[in-house]
Amino acid sequence: MTQRVETAKADKADKQQHLAALFAMSDGRAWERLREQYPELAARVHAAVVDGVEKTDIWDYAERWGYSAQMAAWLGQAATHLLRQRAAGDDTAESAETEPVLEEAITG
């Protein structure tokens, strides 16, 4: 019985990995579009992710304060991309490009 449970857990984890891979490209594109179209907002998303904000936090906040689901999805996808990069140990390229923009956005 225990082996069945462990096999089912492994199958579920495999499915989650496949699903994450399916959406990884879309998440990356969301991040790139955000950086290109709204660099100050991208810098703030990056800072939020560095401080521990996750996509569900973004979605919850957007719903609570009446922001559009489309906006929440876009920011959530961008955050998911950054979280995936951080988990892979690749945070340097993203932060190097966004930190000067964030500094400028904060100090004006």
Mean pLDDT of 74-80: 96
Q: Is 97 helix (H, G, I), strand (E, B) or coil?
A: helix
Q: Determine the pLDDT at residue 100.
A: 52
Which pair of structure tokens corresponds to residue 67? Answer: 């922001």
- For the stretch 6-29, pLDDT in tens is 776 767 778 888 888 888 999 999
Burial of 30: CB neighbours in 10 Å, binned 0-12, 13-18, 19+? buried
Q: Where are the domains of the chain?
A: 27-107
- Measured CA to CA, the distance from residue 97 to residue 75 in angstroms comes to 17
Tell me if 68 sits within 8 A of 59, measured CB to CB.
no
Full-model pTM: 0.71
pLDDT-derived band at 57 (thresholds 50, 70, 90) equals: very high
Q: Determine the pLDDT at residue 1.
A: 57
